[in-house]
Amino acid sequence: MSFPITRHRRLRGSAGIRGMVRETVLNVLDFVQPIFVTYGTGVKNEISSMPGVYHFSLDTLKAEVDEIAALGIPAVLLFGIPETKDAIGSSGFAEDGIVQEATRLIKQWYPELLVVADTCLCEFTDHGHCGMVHTHTVNGVVHGDVINDASLDLLTRTAVSQAKAGADIIAPSNMMDGFVHAIRAGLDENGFEHVPIMSYSVKYASAFYGPFREAADSAPQFGNRKTYQMDPANLREALREAESDVLEGADMLMVKPALAYLDVIRTIRDQFNLPLVAYNVSGEYSMVKAAAQQGWIDEQAVVLEMLTGMKRAGADIIITYFAKDAARWLRG
Ligand code: PBG
């Protein structure tokens, strides 16, 4: 009788021993919960493509934030749906903008809860692009592109207004060239040298953002985002994006989306020493919710497996619409 030389199963024999040798453990402290804020009163509207995710008006927001804080989730990421939109996204940097108002309230209610502000213009521009655009019309079809350097000034104003309102972390998601440098300079000049930048360094032009664009009403009205967000086929380009952000002063790097980009997360983790964020985006959420509603998958098990995979790939922090659920499940 010959025996296996190696018995891997010895370390899998009981929950106790599996726990002891587990290499990756999710922690509620890893999570950031996104929140959509809007005008009006008494609003708590479910986003149809994202069951369990809502638009909150400022008066219904408290209950949501109470729940997040009670679960021990350390941070929220704010997205705003403004009352009015224009060509330059001015409601994005208005002192009384929806994100600024929500930030002030949350910091009053929970000074310890970190408010992360998504710094972008697509929710606030009438054309839905992440910066200022030049357009021309040919045979009734609008063509245009985002003007990089002119957009930097608007994005910097947005970041500074968010910091003034009390945002703890500025998270620019616009993918203009030089945005980290411009925003860092703007923050420093305005006395916010202590506010860190969580840069969406490696953000792909992804179809997985579909449900978010319904949620944030931010779909581009012409064209797409391929001239500023990255081609999903590229990995070396991700290294160049991350490198420039490091040189420009980013405090944290991000890879977005997460599920189809775990190799990118691992590569960035291995090459850079800044904290790394994975963004488990809207489409990744919606797919799981849809399959779970059909009874085709075990939602809890699938979500915890996905989040564990992101952490194992090298993410230190995970932005996820599942943050509240995962926090509850981890408590058992
Ligand atoms: C803003 C922004 C987007 C997301 C986060 N910030 C949308 C986009 O780039 O089109 C997507 C988040 C998600 O899908 O969950 N630029």
For position 23, what pLDDT does the model report?
A: 98
For position 210, what pLDDT does the model report?
A: 96
* Chain-centroid distance, C-alpha 316: 14
Q: Which residues of the chain have pLDDT under 70?
A: none
For position 105, what pLDDT does the model report?
A: 98
For position 140, what pLDDT does the model report?
A: 86
Ligand 1 and 161: CB distance under 6 A: no
Q: CA–CA separation, 268 vs 255, rounded Å? A: 8
Specify the pTM. Answer: 0.97
Structural domains present in the chain: 24-135+144-331 (3.20.20.70)
173 CA closest ligand 1 atom index: 16
DSSP 107-175: HHH-TTSEEEEEE-STTTBTT--SS-EEEEEETTEEEEEE-HHHHHHHHHHHHHHHHHHT-SEEEE-S-
For position 62, what pLDDT does the model report?
A: 98
For position 63, what pLDDT does the model report?
A: 98
Catalytic residues: 203, 256
Whole-number Å distance, alpha carbon 124 to ligand 1 midpoint, is 13
Ligand 1 and 281: CB distance under 6 A: yes
For position 136, what pLDDT does the model report?
A: 85
For position 143, what pLDDT does the model report?
A: 83
**Mean of per-residue pLDDT scores for the chain:** 97
**ipTM exceeds 0.85:** yes
Q: CA–CA separation, 30 vs 323, rounded Å? A: 9
Of all protein residues, the one whose alpha carbon is nearest to atom 7 of ligand 1 is: 209
For position 1, what pLDDT does the model report?
A: 83
Helices (H), the chain: 15-20, 61-70, 98-109, 148-165, 179-189, 210-215, 236-248, 262-271, 282-293, 299-313, 323-331
Whole-number Å distance, alpha carbon 96 to ligand 1 midpoint, is 22
| Pairing verdict, β 133-138 and 141-146 | antiparallel
For position 144, what pLDDT does the model report?
A: 83
Joined tokens for residue 141: 């079809």
Residue 163 CB neighbours (<10 A): 24
